[in-house]
Amino acid sequence: MSERKPSLAARPSVARRVGAGATASDYILETTGLVKEFKGFVAVSGVDLKVRRGEIHALIGPNGAGKTTCFNLLTKFLEPTRGTIRFNGTDITGEPPQRIARRGIVRSFQISAVFPHLTVLDNIRIALQQKLGTSFHFWKSERSLDRLNDRAMELLTAVGLERHAAMVAIEMPYGRKRVLEIATTLALDPELMLLDEPTQGMGHEDVDRIMQLIKQVAAKRSILMVEHNMKVVAGISDTITVLARGAVLAEGNYATVAADPQVIEAYMGSEASELASLPQAHHHPPSPLSVEAGDFGVLRPATGAVR
Ligand SMILES: Nc1ncnc2c1ncn2[C@@H]1O[C@H](COP(=O)(O)OP(=O)(O)O)[C@@H](O)[C@H]1O
Ligand SMILES: [Mg+2]
Q: Is 224 in the pocket of ligand 1 (CB under 6 A)?
A: no
Distance from first CA to last CA of the chain, Å, rounded? 24
Q: How far apart are CA 214 and CA 158, in angstroms?
A: 12
Tally of residues, the chain: 307
Q: Does domain 1-104+190-302 have CATH number 3.40.50.300?
A: yes
The CB of 199 under 6 Å from ligand 1? The reply is: no
97 Cβ inside 6 Å of ligand 1: no
Ion ligand 2 neighbours, Cβ < 5 Å: 67-68
* Sheet strands side by side (includes 27-38): 41-52, 27-38, 82-87, 90-91
Closest CA to 230 of 218, 246, 242, 215: 242
Across the chain, the runs of DSSP E, i.e. the strands, are 27-38, 41-52, 56-60, 82-87, 90-91, 105-108, 192-196, 222-226, 239-244, 247-252
Kindly tell me the burial class for residue 79, based on how many C-beta atoms sit within 10 Å of its own C-beta (0-12, 13-18, 19 or more). Answer: exposed
Q: From the DSSP assignment, how many helices (H) and strands (E) are in the chain?
A: 10, 10
**In this structure, which ligand is nearest to the CA of 196?**
2
Domain residue extents for the chain: 1-104+190-302, 114-188
- pLDDT tens string for the chain (307 positions)? 444 444 434 333 433 444 455 565 799 999 999 999 999 899 999 999 999 999 999 999 999 999 999 999 999 999 999 999 999 999 999 999 989 988 999 998 755 478 999 999 999 998 888 777 654 455 566 677 778 899 999 999 999 999 999 999 999 999 999 899 999 999 888 999 999 999 988 889 899 999 999 999 999 899 999 999 999 999 999 999 999 999 999 999 999 999 999 999 888 754 444 443 333 433 334 444 444 433 443 343 333 333 3
CA distance 83 to 193: 21
Instruction: Give the predicted TM-score (pTM) of the model.
Output: 0.80
